[in-house]
Amino acid sequence: MAMLEVKGLEVYYGVIQAIKGISFEVNQGEIIALIGANGAGKTTTLHTITGLIAAKSGSIVYEGTDVTRIPGYKLVGMGIAHVPEGRRVFSSLTVLQNLKMGAYTRKDKNELDETLKMIYRRFPRLEERKNQPAGTLSGGEQQMLAMGRALMSHPRLIVMDEPSMGLSPIYVNEIFDIIQKINGDGTTVLLVEQNAKKALSIANRAYVLETGNIVLSGDAGDLLNNDQVKKAYLSE
């Protein structure tokens, strides 16, 4: 059984259909990439999976439980974390306060302290800046904070929306290295990413979205070498 199964998902904004009956799955331990042009429906798909948007029809099954109608705050407690597009850190709160916000579903203080130490080992700059307001961090550091905040909930599945957006090439490489390390530590990753080449280079499998439909899927390495994908998404 797949960790996450999306079946026949349809999502509307008013009368406009944004997602048109898509189906895909994510197996435990994988990095799965969703790629496609702006407006293809990638972010909408993630928002529906994490309970921020209601599906019109179809189902979302997580670890054998139908979570289609479960609100986002409850999904966090079930092991799903969301790193949103644009970071969305709490700019007036300190780095440490932001991280603690990510752990609001957890009660064991000793466990929280251990998780915080793990986050600081993964993101040393966050420890260096733990008392700074998050709004004073660089874009790359804010992205690390958003990822660290999500990891504070100790997720089994982490959903990431455009983690490299607006970052310098050095930070882009660092963020993708971190995603691989997070996955290597045992967390399954569902990744939406405009930088298709980088996403496919670290993913196990991928799905290509166009105007609310999945038009291609397969092994990420195969899609990286697919002429149709190269022409549409991988041109320099």
pLDDT 10s digits, 111-139: 878 889 889 988 898 999 999 999 899 88
Residue 4 clears pLDDT 80, i.e. is over it? yes
Quick one: pLDDT at residue 235? Answer: 60
Among the residue ranges 21-35, 70-84, 94-108, 183-197, the one predicted with the least confidence is 94-108
Report the candidate in 15, 23, 141 with the shortest Cα–Cα distance to residue 87.
141
Quick one: pLDDT at residue 165? Answer: 86
Quick one: pLDDT at residue 114? Answer: 87
Quick one: pLDDT at residue 169? Answer: 85
For CA atoms 180, 182, 188, 192, the dihedral sign is negative
**What is the rounded average pLDDT of the residues 20-32?**
97
- Tokens 């293809």 — which residue? 40
Residue 236 clears pLDDT 60, i.e. is over it? no
- Residues 6 or more apart whose CB falls under 8 angstroms from that of 221 comprise 200
Quick one: pLDDT at residue 168? Answer: 82
Residues 100 and 108: beta-carbon distance below 8 Å: no
The pLDDT tens digits of the residues spanning 52-68 come to 999 999 999 999 999 99
Q: How many angstroms separate the CA atoms of 126 and 113, rounded?
A: 15
Count CB neighbours of 69 within 10 A: 10
Give the pTM.
0.90
Q: What is the CATH number of the domain that holds 183?
A: 3.40.50.300
**What is the rounded average pLDDT of the residues 91-106?**
86
Burial class (CB in 10 A: 0-12, 13-18, 19+), 146: buried
**What is the rounded average pLDDT of the residues 8-24?**
96
Report the candidate in 206, 219, 225, 227 with the shortest Cα–Cα distance to residue 36.
206
- Tokens 């799905």 — which residue? 207
Q: How many angstroms separate the CA atoms of 101 and 200, rounded?
A: 31
Bridge partner residues of 59 (DSSP): 7
Task: Mark out the alpha helices in 123-168 (DSSP H runs).
Answer: 124-128, 139-151
Residue 147 clears pLDDT 70, i.e. is over it? yes
Residue 86 clears pLDDT 80, i.e. is over it? no
Residue 24 clears pLDDT 70, i.e. is over it? yes
**What is the rounded average pLDDT of the residues 193-222?**
94
Q: How many domains does the chain have?
A: 1
Higher pLDDT, 23 or 232: 23
What totals of helices (H) and strands (E) does the chain contain, helices first?
Answer: 10, 10
Joined tokens for residue 212: 């609310």
What is the pLDDT of the chain when averaged over all its residues? 91
At residue 50, the 3 state secondary structure works out as coil
Quick one: pLDDT at residue 84? Answer: 87
pLDDT band at 37 (very low <50, low <70, confident <90, very high): confident
Distance separating the N- and C-terminal Cα atoms of the chain:
38
Quick one: pLDDT at residue 166? Answer: 82
Residue 87 clears pLDDT 90, i.e. is over it? no
Domain that holds residue 141: 4-233
